[in-house]
């Protein structure tokens, strides 16, 4: 296991990040992340591990819609039609992260961490994930919406980060 004395991040997050790096290193894969509601937490966890640079290619924190559109080339029509917290936007974010990096796989996270911003259709704790792989069939969309419930802002962000890391594991299905 990892020495957790030199990090402020939860041990379960660091342990999962280490597994992601180890398994992707063994598979010869480089990874990228596009984050919204987690605000860089996944990138922070991955870079807490010494030697992560041989696996972790890039991280994009695109918190606002304009950043998603400008940096990851998510279509403004997709954002307007489906909303920021949607499978369509998460999928476009993952594709954008893949296109903007040299990574073999990219995961995107977008959601509502709270305490505000929820609605009846998308309550606080709603998080959407997507994974894109270089060279995959363009019809293969790997995405899912999870309802974590109102775990508090930190709780939602932690659970979202853990799910995103799980999606970065070689051979992982949508959790």
Which range (103-107, 117-121, 127-131, 144-148) has the least confidence? 117-121
Q: Is residue 126 part of a domain?
A: yes
Q: How far is CA 61 from the centre of its chain?
A: 10
Return the pLDDT at 4.
55
Q: Which helix (H) or strand (E) holds 127?
A: strand 126-133
For the chain, give me the number of helices (H) and strands (E)? Answer: 6, 5
CA atoms of 116 and 17, how far apart (whole Å): 29
* pLDDT value of residue 171: 80
Phi-psi region of 7 (alpha: psi -120 to 50; beta: other; left: phi over 0): beta
Q: Is residue 57 part of a domain?
A: yes
**What pLDDT sits at residue 7?**
83
Answer yes or no: are the C-beta atoms of 152 and 36 closer than 8 Å.
Answer: no
Is 72 part of a structural domain of the chain? yes
Q: Which residues pair with 56 in a beta bridge?
A: 31
Indicate the Cα dihedral angle 145, 150, 152, 153, nearest 10°.
Answer: 30
Q: pLDDT confidence of 21, banded at 50, 70, 90?
A: very high
In this structure, are strands 126-133 and 142-147 parallel, antiparallel, or unpaired?
antiparallel
Sequence-ordered alpha helix ranges (H) in the chain = 11-27, 41-47, 65-72, 76-82, 87-99, 153-167
**Which region, left, alpha or beta, applies to residue 51 given φ > 0 means left and ψ of -120 to 50 means alpha?**
left
Residue-wise pLDDT tens digits, 1-10:
455 567 889 9
Give domain status of residue 174, yes or no. no
In a domain, 84, yes or no: yes
Give domain status of residue 144, yes or no.
Answer: yes
Q: What is the pLDDT of residue 174?
A: 54
The mean per-residue pLDDT over the stretch 33-61 comes to 97
Structure confidence at residue 139 as a pLDDT band (50, 70, 90): confident
pTM score, whole prediction: 0.93
Q: What is the CATH number of the domain that holds 121?
A: 3.90.950.20
Give residue 135's pLDDT band: very low, low, confident or very high (50, 70, 90): very high
Question: Do the domain assignments include residue 64?
Answer: yes
pLDDT score recorded for residue 5: 66
As for how many domains the chain has, the answer is: 1
Domain with 108 in it: 11-168
In a domain, 33, yes or no: yes
């Amino acid at each position: 296991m990892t020495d957790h004395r030199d990090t402020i991040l939860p041990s379960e997050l660091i342990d999962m990040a280490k597994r992601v790096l180890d398994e992707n290193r063994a598979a010869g894969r480089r990874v990228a992340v596009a984050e919204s509601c987690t605000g860089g937490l996944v990138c922070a966890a991955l870079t807490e591990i010494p030697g992560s640079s041989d696996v972790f290619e890039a991280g994009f924190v695109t918190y606002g819609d304009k950043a998603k559109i400008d940096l990851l080339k998510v279509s403004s029509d997709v954002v307007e039609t489906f909303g920021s917290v949607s499978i369509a936007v998460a999928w476009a974010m993952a594709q954008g992260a893949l296109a903007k990096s040299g990574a073999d796989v990219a995961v995107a996270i977008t959601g509502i961490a709270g305490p505000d911003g929820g609605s009846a259709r998308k309550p606080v704790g709603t998080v959407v994930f997507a994974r894109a792989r270089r060279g995959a069939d363009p019809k293969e969309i790997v995405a899912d919406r999870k309802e974590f419930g109102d775990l508090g802002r930190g709780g939602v962000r932690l659970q979202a980060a853990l799910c995103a890391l799980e999606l970065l594991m070689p051979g992982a299905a949508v959790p």
